[in-house]
Amino acid sequence: MDTATTELADSLRTLGAWEMPEELRMLEDTVRRFMTNEVIPLEEKLPHDAYALPEGQLKELQAKAKSLGLWCVQSPEEYGGAGLNLLAQCIVAEESAKCRMGAYVPACGAFGFDPPSIIFGGTEAQIRQYAVPSIERGEKAFFAISEPSGGSDPARAIQTKAERVGDHYVLNGSKMWITAANESRWGVAFARTGPSKSRDGVSAFIIDMDRPGVNVTKIPVIRSYAPYEVHFDNYEVPEENLLGVEGRGFELVDKLLVHGRVPYAAGTLGVASAALQLAIDWAKQRKTFGALLSDRQAIQWMIADSEIELQAARLMVYRAAWKADLGQDMKVDASMAKVLATETAGRVVDRCIQILGGMGVAQEMPLERWYREMRIKRIGEGPSEVQRMVVARHLLGSRS
């Protein structure tokens, strides 16, 4: 066989067996043991809907995570992060979601908080001033693109305006559903700097939260960890806080949005896997009318369907990450993975609640909390309908 054929055969053998490289298996085992031995024992002592560990405990956990190389896994190594590729990020996301805080506070914050990846498309001075201190200190930073006007195309929906006045910009408008805006020293926000209603004319800015003209308002939702509205009222941004080129902010963010959907999807599978294991353990010891639940076909089929669907979704997530790590276009793959994983996770958690019956919705179990979170996951990072639109446009466009 020629070299190309040999390489293809080797790739197919690897794909057919789906053997993860040894270093990724070691990573998976490290995160799993860290969650079991370090994170979950602390989390179990907290109230049901808690979304943060006490500061002292969190700092101790973070120190241990740093010693294992599990710190800001998405951020480049040269700036203090772990610099993991996308497949490795997915493995960490799935395993670190197997706790009560689940996919929205992975590992209860033990692995730090990656700054918005868009900052690494800025100047070296911007990275050193904002990203590096956040990574070093374990601080949060926000990413603000969504607005009250909504819409499936965030660029066209942006109405927040940035007017250039001398050596600075003046921002006016609001951003909605912004995570950690109340806890952040800085963030990145998008505003329209030109007359166009398309992506042209949208710019990205670094926002210092200690400047006048910006305030945040909590938006209560079905989970305990609430997002915020960020409102700008004649907020002045110095020109050196412009990220990239004026009017071309979306050139920096496209890759971030696509890649971010993949570990996001993986996190939901971690929650669903933990829920399924809980339901299996329950079915094997719970008796009704003289027989174990695990002996009843209805329960067996719910468990079997859940495992089948989870494995299928996991493979799709891995495939999207694998293509990204090879430098291939994986926009459609990311959309498919996001839809399948989040919708599968919701169904699995729902089935697990059904298996436990009344205990499934009791707060001494994590299932009802996971159920609320999984409902949100079908909306975050682009709702299922938008992801289906991406897939449909790709298929219909290629056939026209």
Does the annotation count 77 as an active-site position? no
The answer to whether 199 and 250 have CB atoms below 8 angstroms apart is yes
**Dist CA 332 CA 320 (whole Å):** 9
Backbone angles phi, psi at 43, to 5 degrees: -65, -35
**Which residue reads 């868009």 in tokens?**
118
**Dist CA 73 CA 316 (whole Å):** 21
Q: Alpha helix (H) ranges present in the chain?
A: 3-17, 22-34, 40-43, 55-67, 86-96, 124-126, 132-137, 154-157, 250-285, 297-325, 331-356, 367-377, 384-399
CA 109 to chain centre: 13
**Dist CA 330 CA 337 (whole Å):** 10
The answer to whether 190 and 176 have CB atoms below 8 angstroms apart is no
Smallest CA-to-CA distance from 204 within 168, 140, 166, 253 is with 253
- Of the candidates 78, 139, 381, 385, the residue annotated as catalytic is 381
Backbone angles phi, psi at 78, to 5 degrees: -65, -15
Task: Show Cβ contacts of residue 281 under 8 Å, excluding neighbours closer than 6 positions.
Answer: none
Q: Active-site residues: which are they?
A: 381
